[in-house]
A and B are shown apart, each in its own frame.
Chain A
Amino acid sequence: MNTSNPAQPREHGVNDARVLALRVNGVLQQAIAKPGTTLLEFLREELGLTGSKRGCDLGECGCCSVLVDGRPMLACLLLAADVEGSEIRTIEGIADGEVLHPLQQAMVDEGAIQCGFCTPGMVINGVHLFERTPTPTRDEIRTCISATVCRCTGYNRIEQAFVTTAATLAAGGGKAGAQ
């Protein structure tokens, strides 16, 4: 799935491509990328990590959210070259093997997932919220959820999943920072 093919003609600047090395989900990943390659393109096209979704490519929908050095960022607005040396966590790196993060588990159990396209963005932002704020207020939860556009659920079940997660964490279940 390479969009950048170094064998292609010079007219389009692909000869500017170079090897980028990014630490993604704890693994150093290398691939050839052009200077304009966004982090989202790098993840999806070069590394095949398609869990981060391309919903708008404009920073509007939040479906491409990833954690960059622990902070949620919109991968479609970042250049891959600018996050070299950073620690990237994508939706693929949130569960501990097959053991889901408490928020992931709550999203499943509470029916917070319909089409699932926004789900990675919701989870990424939520994981960050719970790492900083294990017992968030309703407003903090809604602010976090509002980082991602969901058109299916009306957000009620998602909000409930966040509430459940807070309760799980307060009861000592799960590990908010599990990786």
Chain B
Amino acid sequence: MSGYNIVGKPTPQIDSRDKVMGRARFTDDIPLHNPLHAAILRSPFASARILKVDTSRAAALPGVRGIVTGADFRRTFGVLVISKDEPAMAGNRVRYIGEPVAAVAAETAEIAAAALALIEVSYEPTEACLDPRVALKPVAEPLHPGLGRDNNLHKRVEQCYGDPDAGFAASPVVVEKRFSFASVTHAFTEPHATQVAIDGRGNLTVYSATQVPHYLHMAMAEVLEIPEHRIRVIKPHLGGGFGGKSDPFPHEMIAARLALQTNRNIRLRFSREEVFISHHGRHPTTLTMKLGYDPQQGITGIDADILIDGGAYGSFGVVTTYYNGVLLQGPYRIENLRFRSRRVYTNKPMCGAMRGHGGVNPRFAAEVLLDMALVQAGVDPCQGRIDMIHRPNTLTASEFRITSVGLKAGLEEAMRRSGWNEKYGKLPYGKGIGVACGFYISGSAAHIHRNDRPSSTVRLTIEFDGMVTVYSGAADIGQGIDTILAMMAAEVLGVGLDQVKVVVADTQLTPVDLGSYSSRVTFMAGNASRNAAIRMRRLLVAAACQLLELPPPAWEKPEPPADYFRQGRRSPDYSSDYLGPNPDYNDGFRLANGQVTHLGSGRSVPYLDAVRRALDGPGILQTHGTYRSPKLGGNYKGAAAGLSPTYSFTAFIVEVTVDPETGFVKVDKATCAHDCGTMLNPLAVRGQIEGCIHMGLGQALMEEIVHYDGAVQNAGFLEYKIPSAFEQPEVDLVPTPSDETEGPFGAKEAGEGPLAPIIPAIANAIHDAVGIRLTEVPMRPDRVLAAIRKAGAA
């Protein structure tokens, strides 16, 4: 680490001055020429047939320029190729309260709102399916008849590895409980917004608050039935996503359709209520889990039956269904795993991907059960966990390739720093300390769209003035990927960050990046930027050799060692992008401080001279870099779920105060060991972990989407409470490095993994404090109090 100029240094985001001065342009801040204002009419029924939509009175209102209804859209869409079940606008039926039914574009927002009130929709309400258990039973009219089922099951996954029953039978400790989890939502601060500019040739430029510009581009072409090349998607500054902006959305299609219909620019933005009822948050979940434990062997088996409530449409739900089961394979060794995971459709706003996607709720169950088992077995909850953490360079039951693991040392250090041994089981009644661990993917190894293209591609240029520009489709959603892209290039090319610009998330200017989800961008786009910069570095080094009259360097592609574990089991992928060993490269030159120095002779040329010499022939200095995961995993159906080139590992030790009179839980301190390999930007890593703590704390103690007859009852920040600065605990981050060799400069993800374990760590600390085991999340004061009273009565 110490050898780096840029990597590993706490670095403010490159656009933070713009943000702090109010200059940063978010989608709704961009001034389009004379736009029409769009507004969406939404369904008041959870389930109804649409008999008629009469827009004539609205159309007659002066100032109304365009109206679209379900009849204007023939094709459904969805982020997953395997569940394109969502219409941009309801056709002959509505499936949730808030579903778009019609939309208007008018000269002013006021006229648009007035026009909505003039649209007459005749509905015939039908019986709504709101309970996920009922959704499994036969019904006359399923939400999605096209699936050919007689009930509202969306996806069912059953997998079994090893023999859990034999494991349980041989275990001294077997624990089992039923858990339930409310739905929680992203609650990002910037409401969804889309603006569409249309030019005289009918080309659309779509500014949108999206985590997935390229997916949006492709989905929009499909839904609008226009060629992809007529669309350009730009993601301006984005005010938080957390998964809530990682699908293409109906309103984006609607805005574009209105632009095509009116030949005018369109401005569309959500109210806060619309954000809540569009949701896409974490699935409400009920699950029963059984866990066996043997002090000699560790976890002897897990059996889980999981039911997740998907709401009206698919979104990422198929992946969620898998993740709920397969992400039980870590962070501990486990041979015997069986799960049945089912996602159902109900007449509620849809659920989708939210930070820690699919892994959060089962992680809670596993960590609480494990805690019970360790306590029963008389094993220290920290030490017992440490002994079971995956070893480096191993395969899990479903062949997840575990490479670097630094958590063992990290949790040991967290024990010391938190004073675990002095506190666990020894604090006065009402005070408690608890532990839980987790792991998470660094991007998915498999693509949503099956093709052989890279997951991330970066183009890199150096202009005559020496300015480096990184072109990347990666979407900065606040996590700071723009800064990481620049840091990668600056490190390799030996220039300062002020000499690197980024051009990002613009589907006309930037090569494809699949987007910001699944904790993939730092790992994948970061690698692509590093690789592009190494190619550029070679051009500069070659130019420097000319100027220094040295022989041209020979770039040899090293052969992979035969047993090179990290290159994938079945299909070693030494692609053209293997640009020297990671994290360190040694090409015999040092690029730093504006000089290109030949280490052998100590002679150097100025960076700018090398740039100009390199430009002499081609006139342009342009390279590219890519990242694509090696081929991983087995060959059976579902084998790809959860496969990632590498995994992060996390442990939390949490200290709480529980008020036995009120049931109120205060989290006093969180000690976190998060193994994200090399911390490329420690400031950003800290921010991600603290943000995960905030969001996990909210789900643990207070957040829940409340429905009544399918309507969201708390669609605002006053009703949907998230933790404030008063609830956020003191955070101690334990350095937890690991020997990661595939991530850029040895980095792994830090944005999602730290969310899941904070929640069970709080639950386990509550147990240490007052002796209760909570199985319903959020662990609201009323539930805590009821459990304390029940325990007292027993």
Chain A residues, Cβ within 8 Å of B13: 113-114
Most buried by A among B24, B237, B692: B24
On whether the beta carbons of A156 and B728 are closer than 8 Å, the reply is: yes
The verdict on A80 contacting chain B, using a C-beta distance below 8 Å, is no
Q: Is the CB of B686 within 8 A of A61?
A: no
CB-CB under 8 A from A149, the residues of chain B are: 187, 189, 717, 722
B189–A52 touching, CB < 8 Å: no
Binary contact readout B16-30 vs A (1 if CB under 8 angstroms, 0 otherwise): 111111111110110
B residues 548-567 touching A (CB-CB < 8 Å):
none
How many residue pairs at the A-B interface have CB separations less than 8 Å?
197
* A151 and B683 in contact, given A51-B22, A53-B239, A119-B19 (Cβ under 8 angstroms): no
In the bound assembly, the distance between CA atoms of A120 and B10 in angstroms comes to 23
Which A residues lie within 8 Å of B238 (CB)? Answer: 115
- Say yes or no: A55 contacts B190, CB within 8 Å: yes
Query: Closest CB-CB distance, B754 to chain A, in whole Å?
Result: 10
Residue of A94, A116, A118, A141 near B24 (CB, 8 A) is A116
Interface residues of A in 122-171 (CB under 8 A from B): 123, 141-142, 145-146, 149-159
Sorting the interface of chain A by its residue count into under 10, 10 to 19, 20 to 34 or 35 or more gives 35 or more
Residue from B29, B186, B722 with most neighbouring chain A CB atoms (10 Å): B29
Give chain B nearest CB distance to A49 CB in angstroms: 8
B468 to chain A, nearest CB (A): 22
Alpha-carbon distance A107/B683, docked complex (angstroms): 12
Minimum C-beta distance from B243 to chain A (A): 12
Contact between A117 and B239 (Cβ–Cβ < 8 Å)?
yes
User: Within 8 Å of chain B (Cβ to Cβ): is A56?
Assistant: yes
Known contacts being A60-B272, A61-B272, A155-B724, is A115 close to B717, with CB within 8 Å? no
Bound state CA distance, A44 and B29, in angstroms?
Answer: 8
User: Which residues from chain B contact A87 at a C-beta distance below 8 Å?
Assistant: none
Q: Select one of B108, B110, B271 contacting A57, CB under 8 A.
A: B271
- A5 with B12: CB separation less than 8 A: no
Output the least CB separation between A57 and chain B (Å): 7
Q: Are B690 and A153 in contact (CB under 8 A)?
A: yes
Q: Does the CB pair B240–A115 fall under 8 Å?
A: yes
Chain B interface category by residue count: 35 or more
CB distance from B780 to the nearest CB of A (A): 20
Q: Is the CB of B726 within 8 A of A56?
A: no
A8 with B111: CB separation less than 8 A: yes
Min CB gap B504→A, angstroms: 14
Complex contact B22–A50 (CB within 8 A)? yes
Closest Cβ neighbor of B684 among chain A residues: A111
Instruction: Tell me if B693 counts as interface (CB < 8 A to partner A).
Output: yes
> Chain A: interface secondary structure?
loop
| A-contact bits for B48-75, CB 8 A (1 contact / 0 none) | 0000000000000111000000000000
Residue B771 is within 8 A (CB to CB) of chain A in the complex? no
Instruction: Give chain A nearest CB distance to B276 CB in angstroms.
Output: 10
- Which of A52-107 touch B at CB < 8 Å? 52-58, 60-61, 63, 90-92, 94-95, 100, 104, 107
The complex places the Cα of A63 from the Cα of B751 at a distance, in Å, of 24
Residues from chain B with a CB closer than 8 A to the CB of A111 are 10, 12, 683-684, 686-687
Is A108 in contact with B12, judged by CB distance below 8 angstroms? yes
Interface pair A123/B20, CB less than 8 Å apart:
yes
State which residues 4-49 of A face B: CB under 8 Å.
Answer: 4-5, 8-9, 11-14, 44, 48-49
Which of A51, A110, A111 has the largest count of B CB atoms less than 10 A from its CB?
A111
Nearest-Cβ distance from residue B580 to partner chain A, whole angstroms: 31
Which residues of chain B come closer than 8 Å to A91, judged between CB atoms?
Answer: 21-22
Are A11 and B12 also in contact (CB < 8 A) when A153-B691, A156-B690 are? Answer: no
Q: Which residues of B contact A157 (CB under 8 A)?
A: 686-687, 690
Q: Is the CB of A50 within 8 A of B19?
A: no
Residues from chain A with a CB closer than 8 A to the CB of B24 are 116
Q: Are A100 and B20 in contact (CB under 8 A)?
A: yes
Is there an interface contact between B63 and A63, defined as CB atoms closer than 8 Å? no
A123 and B717 CA atoms in complex are apart in Å by 20
B37 interfacial by beta-carbon distance below 8 Å: yes
Q: Beyond A9-B62, A58-B716, A145-B725, is A116–B687 a contact (Cβ under 8 Å)?
A: no
A91 to B23, CA, bound (A): 9
The CA-CA distance from A159 to B385 in the complex, in Å, is: 33
Are B17 and A156 neighbours in the complex by a CB distance under 8 Å?
no
A15 to B272, CA, bound (A): 29
Q: Are B189 and A117 in contact (CB under 8 A)?
A: yes
The CA of A50 and the CA of B21, in the complex, are separated in Å by 11
Task: Encode contact with A along B761-788: 1 for CB under 8 Å, 0 otherwise.
Answer: 0000000000000000000000000000
The residue that B21 contacts in the complex, of A51, A61, A145, A146, with Cβ under 8 A, is A51
Contact B114 A12 (CB under 8 A): yes
Q: Could you tell me if A113 and B62 are in contact, using CB atoms closer than 8 angstroms?
A: no
CB distance from A6 to the nearest CB of B (A): 11
List, in ascending order, chain B residues with CB within 8 A of A113's CB. Answer: 12-13, 16, 19-20
- A residues within 8 A CB of B717? 56, 58, 60-61, 149
The 9 closest A-B CB pairs, nearest first, are A51-B22, A115-B478, A116-B19, A117-B239, A154-B694, A91-B22, A154-B690, A50-B29, A111-B683
Q: What 12 new A-B contacts, CB under 8 Å, besides A58-B716, A113-B19, A114-B687?
A: A1-B31, A9-B63, A9-B111, A12-B114, A49-B22, A55-B189, A108-B17, A113-B13, A115-B188, A118-B189, A149-B187, A154-B692
Which residues of B line the A interface, CB within 8 A? 10, 12-13, 15-26, 28-29, 31-32, 35, 37, 61-63, 107-111, 114, 186-191, 237-240, 242, 269, 271-272, 477-480, 683-684, 686-687, 690-695, 716-718, 722, 724-726, 728, 731
Q: Provide a sorted-by-A list of 25 A–B residue pairs whose CB atoms are within 8 angstroms.
A: A1-B32, A12-B108, A12-B110, A14-B110, A49-B22, A51-B21, A54-B191, A55-B191, A60-B718, A61-B272, A90-B22, A100-B20, A107-B16, A107-B20, A108-B20, A111-B10, A111-B12, A111-B686, A115-B478, A116-B16, A117-B188, A117-B239, A153-B694, A154-B731, A155-B725
